[in-house]
Structure formats: C-alpha cells, structure tokens
Structure 1
Amino acid sequence: MIIWRGWGILALLITVLFCLPAGLGIEALLGSEFVPFGIAAALVLAGVSVFLLGQRLNAPRPGYHPQTGQPVLYRNQHTLFFVPMQYVGFVLLGASVLLLVAGVVTIL
C-alpha cells in the first residue's frame, strides 16, 4: 500500500518515468550487466527533480486568516510514506549510490 498526502505521489511517478526508459535503453544498447549503472544515473536525476519539486510545493505561503485578518503562513504537506517530498529526493540519491555499488560488485 502506498501512502501519500497532497502531490507526494509525484515522487514515485517521477522516479518511474526516469528509471524505466533508462533501464530499458541501457539494456538494449549495452546489455543487462550495465543496467544498474543506467538506473543509478536515472535515480540521481529523479532525486534532484523530486527535491526541487518538493521544495517548490512545500514552501510556506503567506496569507491572512479569513475571520481575524491576522497574517498567517499556510504550509503545504506533500508527502510520500510520511516523508516530505523534498527529502524523498535524498532517499533516491542514497538508493542510487547503493545501486551503483551493487553494480560494481556484480561486474567484479
């Protein structure tokens, strides 16, 4: 079961949209032993994209309370598995490092 709030599901969709073509393309061009390297590169791009999108979506916005007129900060919460979207980008970067190490170990 996938748990998200707001637009947090975009983190998963962006990751799939980056990794699927990269994995299939690398396999077609170089062979299956190099697939982890292509997916690791795609995870880096997806991580940066998710981080930047999460920063933009979760930025607090100034506004005014409708009844009192007092200034307030409206905070958005776009999460995936209770993790704010911008931090999911760091998780993806960590996964790319692990996949890169696993790919090197497999080749050796």
Structure 2
Amino acid sequence: MIIWRGWGILVLLMTGLPAGLGAFAAQALLGEDMAQLGAGIGIVVGGVASFLVGQRLNAPVQGYHPQTGQPVLYKNRHTLFFIPMQYCGVLLLVLGAVVGFTSLPNLL
C-alpha cells in the first residue's frame, strides 16, 4: 500500500520513468550489463527532480486570516510515506549512487 499526501505520489513517477528509460537506453546502447548503470543514473535524475519540485511545492505561503486579517503562514504538505518530497529526493540521490556504483564492476 502506498501512502501519500498532496502531490507526493509524483516522486514515484519522477523516479520510475527516468530509471526505466535509463536502463532501457543503457541496455540498448551499451549492452545488457550496463542496464543497472542506466537505472542508477535515472534514479539520480529522479531524485534531483523530486528535490526541486518538493522544495517548490512545500514552500510556506504567506496569507491572511479571513476573519481577523492577521498574517498567517500556510504550510503545504506533499509527502510519500510521511516523508516530504524534497527529503525523498535526497534519499533517491543516495540510492541512485549506490545502484550506479554497484554496477561499476560490470565495466571492467
């Protein structure tokens, strides 16, 4: 079961699509052993996109209370598994680096 709030589900789309395309392109261009490297690069790209989109979407917005007119800071919540999108991006960067580095013995 996937748990998300707001646009947090976009993390899966922004990561899955580049990882799949990267694996497919690396396999087609460089051989079957390089699919893992392409997937790792795709996960890194998805992590960067998730971080940037999360920073933008989760930024607090200045507003005013409708009854009192006092300034209020509205906070947005876009999460995946209770983790804000921008932090998911950082985790994906680490995961992509690990996947990419574990494929390096295939280069030799």
Q: Same fold (TM over 0.5)?
A: yes
Structure 1 residue ranges (4+ consecutive) displaced by more than 2 angstroms after TM superposition: 104-108
**TM-score between both structures, scaled by the size of structure 2:** 0.93
Following superposition of structure 1 onto structure 2, how do residues 19-98 of structure 1 map, counting pairs within 5 Å?
19-98=19-98
User: Which amino acid in the other structure matches residue 2 of structure 1?
Assistant: I
Query: Unaligned 5+ residue runs, structure 1?
Result: none
Distance 1:19 1:37 in 2: 10
Deviation at 1:106, TM superposition (A): 5.2
Q: Let me know the Cα RMSD of the aligned residues.
A: 1.3
Deviation at 1:35, TM superposition (A): 1.0
Distance 1:37 1:106 in 2: 9
Distance 1:54 1:103 in 2: 29
Following superposition of structure 1 onto structure 2, how do residues 6-17 of structure 1 map, counting pairs within 5 Å?
6-17=6-17
Partner deviation per Cα, 1:57-79 (whole Å, 9 max, x = no partner): 00000000111111000000000
Residue aligned with 1:73, SS: strand
Query: Unaligned 5+ residue runs, structure 2?
Result: none
Conserved? CA contact 2:14–2:46, under 8 Å: yes
Q: How many residues align?
A: 108
Identity %: 53
Deviation at 1:98, TM superposition (A): 1.2
